[in-house]
Amino acid sequence: MKVVLDANVLISALIKHGKSRELLLKIVKKNIKLVLSRGILEEFLEVTETSKIRKYINEDEVIAFLRLLGTVATTIKVRSVFKVVKEDPDDDIVLRTAYDGKAEYIVSGDKHLLSLAKFRKIKIVKVHQMIDILEGE
C-alpha cells in the first residue's frame, strides 16, 4: 500500500500527540510506503516557519521530524501537470504526488481535497479513516 500525507497532516503529526501522529507511527510500524514530493515538503517547511506553528516547535524539532520522514518516505519527482482543484490550485500538488507516486490513498484534512473523495482511483480520506483502514488490515 502507498499513502500520501498532505502537509496539514504532517504539521499536525509534528506539533501534537493526536490522530495524525498516531497515523504516522502506524505507517512506520506497518511498513506502509509513504510517498511525498518536493512540493508537499516545501509547503510543510513554509508552514513550520510561521509564528503560529513556531510557538509549538523549534527548528531542531522540525529537522528531526524531516530526518524521520527521510527514513520512511519515498520522495518522488512530480511530472504530471493537471489542474483539478480550482478553488485552491496549491492542492493539486497532493493529487499529482499521489498520481505520479502510484498511491492508493491521500490523507488530508483539506476540504477541497476531501470533497473529491476519489481521484483517478486514489481514495481521499481523513486521518481517522486511514487509521481505521490500517487497523482493518
For the chain, domains (ranges, CATH) are: 2-135 (3.40.50.1010)
Task: Using the predicted structure, report yes or no on whether residue 66 has a pLDDT greater than 90.
Answer: yes
Average pLDDT of the chain, as a whole number: 93
Strands 105-107 and 122-125: parallel
Flag whether the pTM goes above 0.85: yes
d(CA 115, CA 62): 30
The model's pLDDT over 96-134, given as tens digits with 9 standing for 90+, comes to 999 999 999 999 999 999 999 999 999 999 999 999 999
Look at residue 122 in the predicted model and tell me its pLDDT: 97
CA 65-67-71 angle, to 5 degrees, is 115
Tracing cell 531542531 back to the chain, one arrives at 60
Look at residue 89 in the predicted model and tell me its pLDDT: 65
Task: Using the predicted structure, report yes or no on whether residue 31 has a pLDDT greater than 70.
Answer: yes
